[in-house]
Amino acid sequence: MNEPILQVNDLHYYYNDNQAALNGISVSIYPGERIAVIGSNGAGKSTFFLNINGVLSPEHGEIFYHGTKITKKSLPELRKNIGIVFQDADNQIIASSVKAEISFGPMNLKLPREEVSRRVNMAMEYMNITEYGDRPPHYLSGGEKKRVAIADIIAMEPDVIIFDEPTAALDPLNAVMLEEVLEKLSAEQKTLLISTHDVDFAYRWAERVLVFCDGQIIADGTPLSVFQNDEVVKKASLTRPVMLDVYEELVRNGLLADAGVYPRDMREFRELIGK
């Protein structure tokens, strides 16, 4: 495989002196990967994200971006190229109009005015919020705020985009919109990391799953291998994806031949039973 875009070696982080929030995280992330990060509340997912974005600095451990070790000096480089869409859009939106808000990141990158303006318009079109440009954020609905929060990061054009529980607090329609955006970003070869509690989403969307438990990564592999590993599922208090259960149940009862082709969503499932 090619060179990792981001490499983390033995990362430790403590919130208070006694309890480790991250306890020896090592992982390599390759360009264009679609990674779902799962694990119960307080397992260290958000802390991990803030560490690889350079907002929090680890007690101990190394981060490499494109093979270069991140030091205090190269920290801005890390923040420039890795964007986080925070879970609560209200904790992210700071400006008093949508356009100004989206321009905050590009302005901090010290880009020329025309470039900032181009990126803001591009990001608003991308998220389909051009018509809200002049509105103050407090007159937007929850779904609209989420779009603004995503546009914030798209305008910075990072290589890696992290979504911290993006599906939480979204209605079904906005959740579909979010998946379309993720699909589009994937097609553009962006590296995506998404933390989620929605195992069905992780199962159908991700090509790699990281399972966090008590500040450690206890499993790292394809969704199928992770969710078939009962020990991991139990230890991280996960549930199995419905699609996986249904498929295995059908095979066990002899209703379906075991061809080893696991359907990930309804479309694939229909194709499978249609055959």
Beta strands in the chain (DSSP E): 6-14, 20-29, 34-38, 60-65, 68-69, 82-85, 160-164, 191-195, 208-213, 216-221
Q: How far is the CB of 191 from another protein (least distance, A)?
A: 16
Both structure tokens of 153: 């990061």
Indicate the residue among 135 and 240 with the shorter CB distance to another protein: 135
Taking CB under 8 A as the binding criterion, the range among 6-14, 24-32, 148-156, 201-209 that sits at the site for another protein is 148-156
CA distance linking residue 133 with residue 102, whole number of Å: 9
Q: Which of 17, 131, 134, 231 binds another protein (CB under 8 A)?
A: 134
Indicate the residue among 91 and 189 with the shorter CB distance to another protein: 91
Indicate the residue among 81 and 209 with the shorter CB distance to another protein: 81
Indicate the residue among 138 and 275 with the shorter CB distance to another protein: 138
The 10 Å Cβ neighbour count of residue 4 is 18
Q: How far is the CB of 86 from another protein (least distance, A)?
A: 5
Is 142 near another protein (CB under 8 A)?
A: yes
CA nearest to 169, candidates 83, 88, 84, 49: 88
Q: Which of 140, 160, 178, 185 binds another protein (CB under 8 A)?
A: 140
CA distance linking residue 215 with residue 225, whole number of Å: 21
By CB under 8 A, the residues from 154 to 213 that bind another protein are 156, 169
CA nearest to 152, candidates 93, 112, 195: 93
Indicate the residue among 92 and 196 with the shorter CB distance to another protein: 92
Both structure tokens of 140: 């937007």
State the sign of the Cα–Cα–Cα–Cα dihedral 93, 78, 157, 185.
negative
By CB under 8 A, the residues from 56 to 95 that bind another protein are 56, 76, 79-80, 83-84, 86, 88, 90-95
Q: How far is the CB of 193 from another protein (least distance, A)?
A: 13
Q: How far is the CB of 62 from another protein (least distance, A)?
A: 20
CA distance linking residue 34 with residue 55, whole number of Å: 23
148: left (phi over 0), alpha (psi -120 to 50) or beta: alpha
Interface with another protein (CB under 8 A):
50, 53-56, 76, 79-80, 83-84, 86, 88, 90-97, 99-101, 103-109, 113, 116-117, 120, 134-142, 145, 152-153, 156, 169
